[in-house]
Amino acid sequence: MSTLTYSHDAVIGSEARAASEPRKPLWRRAYDGLVAAQQRRAEREVAAYLASRGGLFTDEMEREIMQRLSGNRRRSV
């Protein structure tokens, strides 16, 4: 016969641990959601730009991407 010993953390389920963490305020969750959505949009835009240019990443492409994402749409003539 063997005897097993468990710590208190091993017995508590993951649901109980998650419930013990304080929930973020509504405005913080809304802000985090907006930031995450903006990040996904930027990643989609960069992926589409790279795909349209053949996927080879150059310094000129990096400058163009940064101009597009920063809202600076000026183009040199």
Does 77 map to a domain?
no
Question: Domain range for residue 27?
Answer: 8-70
Instruction: Decide if 12 is inside a domain.
Output: yes
- Say how many domains are in the chain: 1
In a domain, 21, yes or no: yes
Name the pTM for this structure.
0.55
Reading the block at residue 52, the tokens are 């349209």
Six-digit token pair at 54?
Answer: 């053949």
pLDDT tens sequence across 31-76: 999 999 999 998 998 888 888 888 777 888 888 888 887 877 665 5
Count the Cβ atoms, other than its own, within 10 Å of residue 24: 11
pLDDT at 19 over 70: no
DSSP per-residue codes, 21-43: SPPPPHHHHHHHHHHHHHHHHHH
Write down the pLDDT at residue 31.
97
Residue 3 domain-assigned (yes or no): no
**Could you tell me the two tokens for 9?**
């953390």
Higher pLDDT pick, 66 / 29: 29
Q: Biggest alpha carbon distance in the chain? A: 85
